[in-house]
Amino acid sequence: MKITQKIFLSFFVLQSFISIELQSSIYDYRFPNSTYPSYSNYGTIGIIQMPNARMMPEGSLGFSWSDMDPYKRGSIVAYPFSWFEASYQYTDIGNALYSNIEAFSGKQTYKDKSFDAKFLLFKETKYLPAVAAGARDLAGTGVFSSEFIVASKRVNNFDFSFGLGWGILNNNHTFSNPFSVLSNRFESRSVNEGLGGNINTDAFFAGDTGVFGGVEIYLPNLKGLRIKLEYDGIDYTKEGFPFGEDSFKYAFRSVRSQESKFNYGFVYPVNDSFHLKFNYVKGNTFSFGFSIQANLGKKNSVIPKEDPYVKTPKADVVRSVTAKKESLVYLSSLRSLRSNNLFIQNAKIEDSQLDIVFTQSKHSSFARAAGRAFTVLDEVSPDYIDTFKISNINGGVGMHTIEIKRDAFKRNQESKLHKLATKNIKVERFKYKPQDYTYAPKPTLPAFFYKVVPTVRSQIGGPDGFYFGDLRLSLHTETLFKKNLSLITSASVGIVDNYDNLKLASDSSLPHVRTDIVKYLKSSKDYSVRRMQLNYFSNPYKDIYAKLSGGLLEEMFGGVGGEILYRPFNRTWGIGAELWRVRQRGYNQMFDFEPDTAYQTTTGHINIYVKEPRSQVLLTLRGGKFLAQDSGINFDFSRRFKSGLRVGAFFSLTDISEAEFGEGSFDKGFYFYIPVDIFFNFYNKGNAAFGLRPITRDGAAILVHSHHLWGITEQAQGHTILRDLDDIYD
Amino acid sequence: MIYTIRLFLILLLLSCCSYVSYSQVVPMIKVATIGVPNESITLKDFQNAEYSFLKVRIGRSANANLTLATVKNNILEWVSATNEKIYTYNGKIIKVSGIGKNISFITYSKFAIEPQTIDSFDVQLYNPGAVIQQVSDMRFVDYREIYHLDEKINTQYFKEYVITKEFRWKYVNHYWVDDSTNRVIKSKQSIHPDFPSLEIEYFYK
């Protein structure tokens, strides 16, 4: 080949790559708001009725709602990992009543609760599709239960999906179950019986196999509008209560039967987070819905922060003054750190090292708090100080110490080279001894802090009605008697509620430690004291932390008790124990205890915590005696993301039978801790907690006391500082 | 829409948590609902300024002042206190940096605010990155009086109709040219499809 030909060929190849690159970039503008896949009518990512193999990024949370006669479905969807989709939904089945006893459930229609799960088995490659497997209506009554394996491949702006389905996804009976060559159990499908809540693994991928498929077409220059077409795999003669009373005794009409196996629809993304969807299903039914989703796991995922470090005014002048007298270094640090919501408790200067002890409640990233403290110290310290050592306390107990060379911190600050700055950083355990320090501000004790905020209490999905709740005005106070001795109180007055029709009484054969919730909600609706808990914290020896508490510990129990935790600083695990003597509180949630039941018990657990530091997955095991005097283990899995978002699920196995536990068979649920500063332009350490148990039962109930030691001592383990070192220059 | 979602989330969080104080939240609700007031520059502000500057308002957000840092080949570089930069050429924004949705005109030297000028420009968009070609059609609209530094001044009002070739993005830029100096004194310009338009007032010294 001639040189000119080679050059031409090279240029052509290079040009091709550039063109592809440009084309793919322009694609993002031609198809805006197409970052996230869209939701199916079943509340999880999919086509119209069918699932596909698409996933949201890990750390995403979504809510989806759809209305397709006779079903109205609301779903909460979470992505703890990029390969795992988990959802929980309520389906209002509009052609059946909750019960035929009007006194029990009024005219409320049937509500079905279900869990769905989907796992990504293979990621999409240039030539091969993404493959996922999943199940709908796990651990429910089974009226929507199905399993599927589905493949999805994107070709330009077409996203094709093809899948195999079992359960109600076998409409087509195309072939017998291919898994039957592995085992006879796949040949026929068993029916879930009992009290619901159990996962019927025998039915997984069993029975006849159907096929389904579809395509999602992204339309150019239409703000990301997508058209969806699909071949429906659902057997509508098995889903829900299709034939009215013949299918279920409380059903009062039939569901429109399928006239076409092809469904059509479109999705209009108002923006990346909010999608509207309109579909035409079964050849005779319109559906409508919306979804809202966001990746809350990323740092500053929703609103960028406008909460910069507060500079020390005239820092040059301050430095020249502090060089003259050591005590002025302390006073200047005290003032400038306070401007940044960092509060010095003690300080000393030894040779060329400035050593301070501080506390803070603004930053969930301990590295960011440390970085801001270093910046202040650098601004106000005279030149002879070459090392900063800052130590953090929480609840009056030592947590950690970070030591950094001033030069390394300052040199890399402008370029924000946190890896270089923290190359020789020392992060160690801190045993707090105030007497070792020269300077300390004089605190005015007792100190009193308070906040008045609106709060909402909710009771969802009961037979009396789908939603009961009240809006309240709450007063939260904290009285600090000593650094490690405080009283926290939470009291509220009701503003508005709809509890009048809430009447379901407990049917539990166990002590009513939770199922008297209706009595508590109704009796405390005017005013209540949710908590009044006295806490004393201590650090008796190295990595051992202790807490003693007493008072009104939670909404339903008061008493005394304590907790002890061994949490080695350079490890990622901890082990602890707690023991409480408690008595059931009065239904009015004031200061008296319930005279009718006079229920009292001793409850306690051995707590084991194991954290995988890279994924930030925490496994918590609590084994012991629960409030209703049943014994067993509570398993809790959660994952923390960079933003501070925590997504978790739990279940408990105790020595009571399914019949004793009642509906739901065993205790289980999920929760999210969403850092509030995600939604604001300033940093804040608080979390908004959302938790849900499908059924409130008495078995496996745990005392919900405040200020657990594992949470209080989070910053007393090295990895919790090291994981956020990239925040040191924020 | 983002303001509506933000307001919804603020209210949702207020009702479910006790960590955020009202003193922090009220200003955010105000911004989410009515935006930030557009403060005007007075003659006194102008006299107190050492160098030429521009006042920019992005969408409904607060105003920011950027100081003229350099003038090179008729390109004016304006810099904010937090290092965001806007580069203008004959009053048109030809480069923006530090705002997350940046742009940079690759060709711009033919740009002039003169009636019936049709030209095309190559533009680099960032986040996501793409190179596009835009056709600009500049039209004189009329003569207008506007308030500038507490007094009325006569301006020529121009509209620039811009069409993007690669995808559907059409917009109109507005320019007010001071009759006495023939400089752009005020403009409203779009720079990026995913970014609100910029309202700029120029204060030359």
Out of B16, B25, B193, the one facing A29 most closely (by C-beta) is B193
Q: How many residue pairs from chains A and B have C-beta atoms closer than 8 A?
A: 87
Q: How confident is the model at residue A685 (pLDDT cuts 50, 70, 90)?
A: confident
Out of A32, A681, A686, the one facing B19 most closely (by C-beta) is A686
B115: CATH:
2.40.360.10
Q: How far B4 CA lies from chain A's nearest CA (Å)? A: 11
Q: In whole angstroms, what is the distance from residue A632 CA to residue A641 CA?
A: 30
- Contacts B61 to A, Cβ<8 Å: none
Give pLDDT, residue B25: 55
Give pLDDT, residue A32: 86
Q: Which of A21, A22, A26 to mutate to test the interface with B (most CBs of B within 10 A)?
A: A26
Helix (H) or strand (E) holding A370: helix A366-380
Hey, which residues 31-70 in chain B have their CB within 8 Å of chain A? none
Contact B14 A454 (CB under 8 A): yes
Same domain, B48 and B30: no
Out of B15, B21, B167, the one facing A26 most closely (by C-beta) is B167
Q: Which residues contact B58 (CB under 8 A, 6 or more apart)?
A: B64, B99, B195, B196, B197, B198
DSSP B190: -
Q: How far B9 CA lies from chain A's nearest CA (Å)? A: 7
Give pLDDT, residue B29: 57
Out of B5, B168, B194, the one facing A273 most closely (by C-beta) is B5
Out of B1, B6, B168, the one facing A221 most closely (by C-beta) is B168
Give pLDDT, residue A18: 40
CB of A274 within 8 Å of a chain B CB? The answer is yes
The SS3 assignment for A581 reads: strand
pLDDT-above-90 percentage for chain A: 69
> What would the pLDDT profile of A314-337 be if each residue is shown by its tens digit?
999 999 999 999 999 999 999 999
CB of B7 within 8 Å of a chain A CB? The answer is no
Same domain, B74 and B116: yes
Q: Do the Cβ atoms of A275 and A291 come closer than 8 Å?
A: yes
Out of B1, B9, B17, the one facing A686 most closely (by C-beta) is B17
- Contacts B15 to A, Cβ<8 Å: 454-456, 471
Q: How far B175 CA lies from chain A's nearest CA (Å)? A: 26
Strand A485-497 to A527-541 pairing:
antiparallel
Same domain, B21 and B113: no
Q: Closest residue of A to B166, CA-based?
A: A26
Give pLDDT, residue A188: 81
Q: Closest residue of A to B7, CA-based?
A: A679
Q: Do the Cβ atoms of A519 and A548 come closer than 8 Å?
A: no
CB of B25 within 8 Å of a chain A CB? The answer is yes
- Contacts A276 to B, Cβ<8 Å: none
| CATH class entry, domain A447-482+484-720 | mainly beta
Q: Which of B17, B106, B126 to mutate to test the interface with A (most CBs of A within 10 A)?
A: B17
Fold for domain A31-295? Porin (2.40.160)
Contact A454 B132 (CB under 8 A): no
Contact B131 A22 (CB under 8 A): yes
> What would the pLDDT profile of A450-495 be if each residue is shown by its tens digit?
988 888 888 888 778 888 899 999 999 999 999 999 999 999 999 9
Query: What end-to-end distance do the CA atoms of chain A give, in Å?
Result: 56
Side chain identity at A573, as an amino acid letter? W
Contact B13 A688 (CB under 8 A): yes
SS3 annotation, A438-497: CECCCCCCCEEEEEEEEEEEEEEEECCEEEEEEEEEEEEEEEEEECCEEEEEEEEEEEEE
Same domain, B27 and B82: no
Q: Do the Cβ atoms of A355 and A348 come closer than 8 Å?
A: yes
Give pLDDT, residue A151: 98
What CATH number has the domain spanning A315-443?
3.30.300
Strand order in the sheet with A343-350: A343-350, A353-359, A387-394, A397-405, A426-429
pLDDT at residue A76 above 80? yes
Same domain, B123 and B180: yes
**Is A401 or A691 the better-scoring residue by pLDDT?**
A401
Q: Closest residue of B to A23, CA-based?
A: B130
Same domain, B51 and B72: yes
Q: How confident is the model at residue A663 (pLDDT cuts 50, 70, 90)?
A: confident
Enumerate long-range contacts of A322-331, CB under 8 Å, 24 or more apart. A322/A380, A322/A381, A322/A382, A323/A382, A323/A383, A323/A384, A327/A439, A329/A354, A329/A380, A329/A381, A329/A382, A329/A385, A330/A438, A330/A439
Burial A232-265 (b: 16+ CB within 10 A, else e): bbbbbebbbbbeeeebbebbeeebbebeeeebbb
- Contacts B1 to A, Cβ<8 Å: 270-271, 274
Residues forming a β-bridge with A97: A109
Mean pLDDT in residue range A133-137: 94
Same domain, B74 and B13: no
Within this chain, domains A31-295 and A447-482+484-720 share the same CATH topology: yes
Contact A680 B24 (CB under 8 A): yes
Same domain, B121 and B173: yes
Mean pLDDT in residue range A125-140: 91
Give pLDDT, residue A194: 55
Tell me what ipTM this predicted complex has: 0.77
Same domain, B68 and B28: no
In A463-612, where does DSSP find H-type helix? 517-523
CB of A341 within 8 Å of a chain B CB? The answer is no
Q: Which of B8, B11, B20, B171 to mutate to test the interface with A (most CBs of A within 10 A)?
A: B20
Give pLDDT, residue B187: 96
Give pLDDT, residue A1: 46
Enumerate long-range contacts of A412-415, CB under 8 Å, 24 or more apart. A412/A729, A413/A375, A413/A729
- Contacts B10 to A, Cβ<8 Å: 679-680
The lowest-confidence range among A191-195, A227-231, A320-324, A353-357 is A191-195
Structure tokens of B133?
């070609």
Q: How confident is the model at residue A612 (pLDDT cuts 50, 70, 90)?
A: very high
Using alpha carbons, list the distances in angstroms from residue B108 to A35, B112, B160.
32, 9, 14
Contact B125 A220 (CB under 8 A): no
Contact B21 A26 (CB under 8 A): no
Contact A28 B24 (CB under 8 A): no
Side chain identity at A222, as an amino acid letter? L
- Contacts B17 to A, Cβ<8 Å: 453, 676, 686-689
Q: How many domains does chain B have?
A: 2
Contact A302 B9 (CB under 8 A): yes
Using alpha carbons, list the distances in angstroms from residue A666 to A163, A197, A658.
33, 7, 7
CB of B76 within 8 Å of a chain A CB? The answer is no
Give pLDDT, residue A99: 81
Residues of chain B with pLDDT under 50: 1-5, 8, 14-19
Give pLDDT, residue A217: 96
CB of B166 within 8 Å of a chain A CB? The answer is yes
Same domain, B118 and B84: yes
Contact B167 A221 (CB under 8 A): yes
Same domain, B85 and B6: no
DSSP A301: -
Hey, which residues 169-198 in chain B have their CB within 8 Å of chain A? 169, 193-194
pLDDT at residue A4 above 60? no
Q: Residue A677: which of B21, B59, B4 has the closest Cα?
A: B21
Each domain of chain A, given as residue ranges in start order, spans: 31-295, 315-443, 447-482+484-720
Range of the domain at B21: 2-34
- Contacts A456 to B, Cβ<8 Å: 15-16
- Contacts B169 to A, Cβ<8 Å: 29
